[in-house]
A and B are shown apart, each in its own frame.
Chain A
C-alpha cells in the first residue's frame, strides 16, 4: 500500500516536471515571472537604483516582454550576469532571454546556438582618452605602446587586438572584470585609454566629474549591433521576444506612445496601428498571446523612441544622440518588418 502511494507520488512529480517543459513561453506563463539576464551595471542601459529597481535601456526590453506575456512589467526576475556567465546562463535555461548589450556575431548565433531576435542599438567600439594626453586619433603613430583598459569576455577584446594588428602598433591590454572597475582603473591612470562600445563610453564619460576632461576618439573600429537574444530552437519564444521589440519600433514609427496607446487601441483609420494594438487581425493569437499584448508592451515604458529618450537620450545625463539609431524614416537604421 505504502509502496503504491510512494510510486504514485513519484509518477505525479515526474509528470508535473514533464508538463512544465513544454516550451519557454509556457514556462514563463506557468511560472508567472520572466527570468531576464542583464548586466551587473552599465549606467543608462541597466543599473539598479537606490531602491533596487532595475532601470535602463536594456531593462525596458525585458519589461516590455514581461508586460506582453504576463501583463505585468514588474513580474521579472532580473538575473545579473557577467561577460563570462551570460551565455551559459541562457544555454542552461536559467534565464529566458538575455538583454545585456550583447553583440550579434556569427559565432554566437551559429556556434553557441543562440538566436538574436533583433537589434535595439547599433553601436561600434571606440576609445576614450583623457583630454590632457593630447591624443586625437586611435590610429596615429603617437599611440604606440599605449596601455588600454578593457572589459574581459567581450568582443571588444578581439576587436582591439585586430585593430592594433592592422595599424601595426604595440599596446598593453589591462583586462578588467567589470565595466565600472575598468573605468576606475582608467580614472586612476592605470591605463591611458579605455575602450568599449561607444554608447557605454558616452555613458561612462557623462558620469565623470568633469566630462569634458575626457575625449571619445573619432575612430569606430567595429560594428556592434546589440540586441536581445534567446536560445536556439525555441522559435515560439523567439518570435514573442522578436515581435515585442518590433512592436516598440513600429509604435514609434506610427506615433503610438505610452500615453496614447490606450486611446488608439479603440480603433483608428490606420490599419497597421489597429493590427499592432489588436483592434484588427489576430496577431496576438498567432504568437500565443492575447490581442492586447503589444499595447501592454508599449504602455510599459513607452515606444522605442520614448525608451531611448528616457534612458540614454539627449535629455539624460548620458546624452547620446539618436545617430544611426534613428528611425529609418529619419535616415537611421531602426526598422521593423510590417505587422501584417
Chain B
C-alpha cells in the first residue's frame, strides 16, 4: 500500500501542453499573445501601407505651428498666433471647467431630487419622479440641443437692453441674462488682495483644525464642544476685519452694455451654460435614483437601533444612516462624474470650445492630422478618467465596509 504521493517530476511530453492543466494555460496564453501580435502587426502594416499610398506620415510637428484660429472662451492667454498645442490646452481647461461645474450642480440637483422623491408630499414626489424619468430616458445630445435652443430663443439679446425704453433690464443692475450668456459682476483685485485671500484660506484651515480638535476631545474625554458657532465666526470675522483694515482691496466690476455686448464682469457664455445645464440636469436624474436607492437601502432597524441607544435624530442621520447610505451611493457617483467628463465632449454640438472642439475639431480640420489629433484626444480623456477613478477609489476604500 503506497499512499505516498509520487514526488519525482514527470518527464515533460509535448502533449502535456494541451492536456495537462498546468501547462495548458501557458499554451493558451502563448497563442493569445501570438494572435494579438499578429493582429497588431497586420493593422500596423495596413496603416503604414495606407499612409505611404496617401503620401502621409505621422508627425506631431503640427502642434508647434501657429493655430490661426481664435477661441472665445480662454482661461489662459491665447491668440490666433499661439500654437496648436496651446489651443489644445485652452480646450483642456474648458473641458475641466464644464466638467467640474457639471459635477457640482448634478450632485446638488440629484441629491435634492433623490431626497424629495422620498418625500411624503405626494405632489413633490410625483414631480420628481417625472423629472427623473423624462431626463433619464432621452438622449443627452437631444437635451443639449433643446436646452441650447431654449437658451437662445427665450432670453433677450443684448440689443434688447439698449435704448430709452429697453425691452429687458438687468437684474439689480448687476446681472444680465442674455441669449448669448449670463453676465455677472466680477471681482477686481487691488493691492493687498492677496492678504485678504490668504486670511480667508487660513481661517478655513483653522476651522478644520478646530473641528478635529473637538472630535479628539469628544473621543478621548467624552466632552462635547459646540463647533457650529465658532466655525461660523472663524469663517467670517477674520476675513472681514482684514478686508476693511486694508481699505477694501477687492472690488466688484459690473457688466455694462458697450457696443454689441456687455463688457466687464464675468461672462458665462451661452454655450457653456447650456452644456453645463444639460449635463447636470441629465446626470442629476441618474444621481437622484442612486441617492434614493442608497437611502432606502439602509434598514429601518438601523435607525431604530440607534434611537434605542439614545442618539438624537441628527446623530442618527450623521453617524448611522449617512455612512451606510454613502457606501451604496459613492461607487455609482464616481462613474457619473466620469460620465459628465466624457459627455462634455458633446460640446461641439453647441460650439463650446472644449478639447474635442479645439484639438479634435478645428485643429484636426485645419491641419488634416486626424490620426495624431484623435490619438491625443483619446489619451487625454483616458488620463482624466483614470485619475478621477484613482482618486475616487481611494475615497471609496476609506468608506468601504471593512470585510474581515
Which chain A residues have a beta carbon within 8 Å of chain B's beta carbons?
A: 83-84, 87-88, 91-92, 108, 111-113, 133, 142-147, 152-154, 157-158, 160-162, 164-165, 171-177, 184-185, 188-192, 231-233
Q: Which residues of B contact A146 (CB under 8 A)?
A: 259-260
Any A CB within 8 A of the CB of B261:
yes
Q: What chain B residues lie within 8 Å of A172 (beta carbons)?
A: 72, 261
With CB as the reference atom, state the residue of chain B lying closest to A83: B365
Structural contact, B55 and A233, CB atoms closer than 8 A: yes
Give Cα A91–Cα B357 distance, bound, in whole angstroms.
22
Interface status of B364 (Cβ within 8 A of chain A): yes
Segment with Cβ contacts to A, from B25-33, B63-71, B296-304, B317-325: B63-71
B residues within 8 A CB of A231? 54
Residues of A within 8 A of B366 (CB): 153, 157-158
Determine whether the beta carbon of B71 is less than 8 Å from that of A173. yes
| Contacts known (A175-B351, A175-B353); A157 close to B362, Cβ less than 8 A | yes
Cβ–Cβ contact A176 & B261, under 8 A: no
12 contacts between A and B (CB under 8 A): A84-B361, A84-B365, A87-B370, A92-B54, A145-B258, A154-B365, A157-B69, A176-B351, A188-B152, A188-B153, A189-B179, A190-B270
Within 8 A of A (CB), among B132-166: 152-153, 157, 159
Interface of A is mostly: mixed
Residues of B contacting A233 with CB < 8 Å?
53, 55
A63–B353 CA distance with the chains assembled, in angstroms: 38
Distance A164 CA – B80 CA, assembled complex (angstroms): 10
Q: By the criterion CB–CB under 8 Å, are B54 and A189 in contact?
A: no
A190–B179 touching, CB < 8 Å: yes
Q: Is B159 within 8 A of A189, CB to CB?
A: yes
A185 proximity list for chain B (CB < 8 A) = 152
Q: A91-B56, A147-B180, A152-B361 are in contact. Are A158 and B68 (CB under 8 A)?
A: yes
B263 at the interface (CB under 8 A from A): yes
Choice from B351, B357, B368 contacting A112 with Cβ under 8 Å = B368
The answer to the question of B348 belonging to the interface, with a C-beta cut-off of 8 Å to chain A, is: yes
Cβ-closest chain B residue relative to A86: B365
Count B-side interface residues using an 8 Å CB cutoff.
Answer: 36
Q: In the assembled complex, which residues on chain A have CB atoms less than 8 Å from the CB atom of B68?
A: 157-158, 161-162
Q: State whether B157 touches A113 (Cβ < 8 A).
A: no
Give the complex CA separation of A192 and B260 in angstroms.
Answer: 8
Q: Which residues of B contact A154 (CB under 8 A)?
A: 365
Closest Cβ neighbor of B80 among chain A residues: A161
Q: Is B349 an interface residue (CB 8 A)?
A: yes
Cα A83 to Cα B305 in complex, Å, equals 64
Task: Give the complex CA separation of A290 and B337 in angstroms.
Answer: 63
CA distance A91 to B249 in the complex (A): 59
Given contacts A113-B54, A175-B362, 10 further A-B contacts (CB under 8 A): A87-B365, A144-B259, A145-B259, A161-B69, A173-B72, A177-B351, A185-B152, A188-B152, A188-B157, A189-B159
Question: CB distance A174 to B55 under 8 Å?
Answer: no
Contact A158 B260 (CB under 8 A): no
Which residue of chain A has the shortest Cβ distance to B259 in the bound complex? A145
Q: Mark B57-92, 1 if CB is under 8 A from A, else 0.
A: 000000000001111100000001000000000000
Residue of chain B at shortest CB distance from A145:
B259
Q: CB-CB contacts of B260-285 with A at 8 A, as 1s and 0s?
A: 11010000001100000000000000
Q: Interface centre among B53, B263, B365, B366, by most A CB within 10 Å?
A: B365
Within 8 A of A (CB), among B342-370: 348-349, 351, 353, 357, 361-362, 364-366, 368, 370
Q: How far is the CA of A285 from the CA of B225 in the complex (A)?
A: 99
Are A147 and B260 in touch, CB under 8 angstroms? yes
A335: shortest Cβ distance to chain B, in Å?
29
Point out the residues of chain A lying under 8 angstroms from B55, CB to CB.
113, 232-233
Distance between Cα atoms of A123 and B96 in the complex (Å): 40
Q: Chain B residues near A144: list those with CB within 8 A.
A: 259
Docked pose: A192 CA to B159 CA in angstroms: 10
A184 to B72 Cα, complex, angstroms: 19
Query: Residues of A contacting B348 with CB < 8 Å?
Result: 152, 177
> Which residue of chain B has its CB nearest to the CB of A181?
B351
Which of chain A's residues have a CB closer than 8 A to the CB of B152? 184-185, 188, 190
B365 & A175 in contact (Cβ 8 Å cutoff): no
- Most chain A CB atoms below 10 A, which of B56, B159, B259, B349: B259
On chain A, the residues within 8 Å of B361 by CB distance are 84, 152-153, 175
Rounded to whole Å, the gap between the CB of A135 and the closest CB of chain B is 9
Residue of A nearest to B157 (CB): A189
